[in-house]
Structure 1
């Protein structure tokens, strides 16, 4: 979850899906440290921990479901997502169609595109608009 509208739409879809099938929902935020790994400070860690707590609370309140976990990681987003999916033995990875919007990104977004190429787990890409 990167805070974008795309991530929010994906989260809403994931909540609905997890409730429909009675699955545990894992929400992960990856701080991309590949551009400058030295820019991460203690204050940012505290902010990320607060964001994680807020995220868990809001998702839990919205779903009335305690079967939700949230994780914050640092590193390459694709690598971190794939590693986490392997750790939890994920049945599905669900992402938004695009991240925060890099001009040079592919139509799906850099991370989403890389996930589609590299994952061995089924991947669902949720568009921002459902055509309404």
Structure 2
């Protein structure tokens, strides 16, 4: 049915549930998994203000820390997926918004299913925090499995 499954993770406890569910499904289907994490663009706080003086902004250290964190997160996710006996590839998509990075990664790696976790927020929480899972559902051209 599914020949390659992309599993998105941000390292959270809920994302871990999505990883485990996606790995269990992949094992049943004999499908390899592509695990992806996305780090958002580094935007200086001052860029959103109308301050007359804005200090120079160098995101180098922040981006380096994000890269290190993503590498560690993906290493843990790989270990977990390999524990299921799966063939695993990983990818860190930097400087993208999560839903965009997930959908683009799925297209590029040839996945035919995306597994993503969702908090299932409603009302004001969803309005204020947004829903990356909803964005993935909206923009994906392939099936999306949402794990709650």
- Shorter-chain TM band: 0.7 to 0.9
Structure 1 residues 43, 4: CA separation in 2 closer, same or farther (over 3 Å shift)? Answer: closer
Unaligned runs of 5+ in 2: 1-8, 45-57
* 1:1-132 to 2 correspondences below 5 Å: 1-33=9-41, 35-36=43-44, 38=59, 40-60=62-82, 62-65=83-86, 67-74=87-94, 75-98=96-119, 104-105=125-126, 110-127=131-148
Aligned equivalent of 1:130 = none
Farther off after superposition, 42-51 or 12-21: 42-51
Larger Rg: 2
CA distance in 2, matches of 1:56, 1:40: 24
Q: Provide the aligned length of Structure 1 versus Structure 2.
A: 121
Encode CA deviations 1:54-89: one digit per residue, 9 max, x unaligned.
3322321x2123x11111111111111111011012
The normalised TM-score by structure 1 is 0.77
Encode CA deviations 1:23-82: one digit per residue, 9 max, x unaligned.
01111111122655937333442343233223322321x2123x1111111111111111
CA distance in 1, matches of 2:65, 2:135: 30
Is 1:34–1:76's contact at 8 Å kept on the other side of the alignment?
no
State the superposition RMSD in angstroms: 2.5
Structure 1 residues 5, 53: CA separation in 2 closer, same or farther (over 3 Å shift)? Answer: closer
